[in-house]
């Protein structure tokens, strides 16, 4: 689920970058429209409100852009600033349109863009509510500005605009909802393809991909291969259902010990697991692997009233620019060295 959330945040972030850029573009356009109209028909009563609106807009957009680029995606501040964006847009629009020609303002189509922005977060319901809010603002301006609102032309213009706003809100919400569902379904399938069904750990495919990317990027990390000692005996004595339970619980133990920011845990295959630790400090690796080994050995399993425990052997080495298969072979040899020397132990590479 964390991966799905991350993908969603990433998708929304790209849209926010676009909307942020558009705000600056339309701010320049609004200034140009206002001054062209002001030169043609000077009205000092509109200058101060417009200048204040521009100053407020620049301040808000500067702060918003700062958090957009500096705050982690999905953080509280990031979320507040991005979700306040449509509210800022609506308030600015409501103040800007009367200052730039009212119902005849060339900036009125901005309403459609703002509604679409709102549907990104609040989908169909948000789109419809936003459409009604814009209809409310438009109605105030229309009935205030138009001298004879009950002529056929005026009535047709009003109805056309309100219907179009509702269509944008409704269709925009439907399209975004469908796109989000498609995106979510796609991510769920991708997540399922990268997860081991039994343990819910990342699977062998994910391990190979992650290992390849980490080596290509030149990250410092240690690779540890580990498996459950004499696991066949567990299956033979307690059955495969119990064996599956052991795999699940061992996977959960390893995951609980390895910090998310410091490493990844994979089910390599069978009773074997792989751990990638993102550190170049041997003492940190030793601390985590020793704790993992001890926690697994201390864990008590129950099967029909009978208790038992299992141990694990580890082979660990630091990446030194090898190819993925070479690094795996090196860790695998160390794992078998741990097995051959009595099991329930960790063997480290003496070379880098």
247 and 114 in a common domain = no
Beta bridge partners, 313, equal: 227
277: tokens are: 């630790």
Average pLDDT of 116-124? 88
Residues 16-51 pLDDT 10s: 888 899 999 999 999 999 999 888 888 888 899 999
- Whether 198 maps to a domain, the answer reads no
306 and 248 in a common domain = yes
- Whether 211 maps to a domain, the answer reads yes
141 and 223 in a common domain = no
- Whether 282 maps to a domain, the answer reads yes
In eight-state DSSP terms, residue 341 is T
269 SS3 class: strand
217 and 131 in a common domain = no
Residues 139-195 pLDDT 10s: 999 999 988 888 999 989 999 999 999 999 999 889 888 887 887 778 777 777 889
210 and 189 in a common domain = no
- Choose one of 193, 221, 252: the last residue of a domain: 193
212 and 187 in a common domain = no
Q: What is the pLDDT of residue 260?
A: 87
Residues 279-322 pLDDT 10s: 989 999 999 999 999 999 999 999 988 999 999 999 999 999 89
- Choose one of 165, 193, 221: the last residue of a domain: 193
**Cβ-contact 344, 352 below 8 angstroms:** no
Question: What secondary structure does DSSP assign to 33-71, as a single string?
Answer: HHHHHHHHS--HHHHHHHHHHHHHHHHHHHHHHHHHHHS
182 and 68 in a common domain = yes
Is the four-CA dihedral 207, 208, 210, 214 of positive or negative sign?
A: positive
Element (H, E) at 325: helix 324-340
- Whether 141 maps to a domain, the answer reads yes
- Whether 199 maps to a domain, the answer reads no
Q: How many domains does the chain have?
A: 2
Q: What is the pLDDT of residue 72?
A: 80
Task: Report residue 126: phi and psi, to 5°.
Answer: -65, -40
**Cβ-contact 309, 299 below 8 angstroms:** yes
59 and 109 in a common domain = yes
- Whether 23 maps to a domain, the answer reads yes
256 and 160 in a common domain = no
Q: Mean of the per-residue pLDDT values for the chain?
A: 90
Neighbours of 347 (CB within 10 A): 20
Instruction: Report the alpha-carbon angle 96-89-99, nearest 5.
Output: 0
178 and 236 in a common domain = no
CA torsion angle 155 160 166 169 (round to 10): -140
- Choose one of 164, 193, 222: the last residue of a domain: 193
Query: In the predicted model, is pLDDT for residue 11 greater than 70?
Result: no
In eight-state DSSP terms, residue 228 is E
Q: What is the pLDDT of residue 10?
A: 53
261 and 162 in a common domain = no
Banded model confidence at residue 4, pLDDT cuts 50, 70, 90: very low
CA torsion angle 339 343 344 350 (round to 10): -50
The answer to pTM > 0.75 is no
Residues 59-110 pLDDT 10s: 999 998 988 888 887 788 888 888 888 999 999 999 999 999 999 999 999 9
Closest CA relative to residue 232, chosen from 171, 310, 138, 119: 310
How many percent of the chain have pLDDT more than 90?
A: 69
- Whether 6 maps to a domain, the answer reads yes
Q: What is the pLDDT of residue 148?
A: 85
- Whether 140 maps to a domain, the answer reads yes
209 and 188 in a common domain = no
Q: Write the CATH number for 276.
A: 3.30.70.270
Residue 292, domain extent? 204-348
């Amino acid at each position: 689920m964390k991966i799905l959330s991350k993908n969603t945040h990433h998708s929304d972030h790209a849209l926010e970058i676009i909307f942020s850029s558009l705000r600056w573009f339309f701010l320049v356009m609004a200034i140009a429209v206002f001054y062209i109209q002001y030169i043609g028909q000077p009205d000092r009563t509109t200058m101060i409100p417009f200048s204040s609106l521009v100053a407020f807009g620049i301040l808000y957009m500067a702060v918003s852009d700062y958090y957009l680029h500096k705050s982690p995606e999905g953080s509280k501040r990031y979320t507040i600033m991005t979700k306040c964006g449509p509210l800022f847009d609506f308030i600015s629009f409501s103040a800007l349109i009367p200052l730039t020609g009212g119902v005849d303002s060339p900036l009125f189509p901005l309403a459609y863009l703002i509604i679409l922005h709102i549907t990104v977060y609040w989908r169909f319901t948000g789109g419809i509510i936003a459409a009604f809010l814009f209809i409310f603002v438009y109605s105030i301006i229309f009935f205030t500005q138009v001298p004879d609102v009950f002529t056929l032309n005026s009535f047709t213009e009003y109805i056309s605009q309100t219907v179009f706003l509702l269509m944008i809100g409704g269709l925009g919400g439907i399209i975004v909802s469908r796109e989000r569902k498609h995106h979510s379904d796609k991510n769920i399938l991708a997540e399922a393809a990268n997860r081991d069904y039994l343990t819910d750990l990342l699977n062998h495919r994910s391990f190979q991909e992650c290992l390849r990317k980490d080596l290509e990027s030149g990250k410092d990390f240690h690779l540890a291969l580990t498996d459950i000692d004499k696991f066949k005996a567990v299956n033979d004595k307690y059955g495969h259902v119990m064996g599956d339970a052991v795999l699940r619980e061992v996977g959960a133990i390893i995951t609980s010990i390895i910090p998310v920011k410091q490493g990844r845990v994979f089910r390599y295959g069978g009773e074997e697991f792989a751990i990638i630790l993102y550190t170049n400090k041997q003492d940190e690796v030793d601390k985590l692997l020793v704790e993992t080994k001890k926690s697994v050995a201390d864990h008590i399993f129950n099967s029909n009233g009978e208790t038992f425990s299992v141990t694990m052997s580890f082979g660990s080495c630091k990446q030194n620019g090898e190819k993925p298969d070479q690094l795996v072979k090196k860790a695998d040899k160390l794992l078998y060295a741990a097995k051959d020397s009595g099991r329930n132990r960790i063997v480290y590479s003496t070379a880098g």
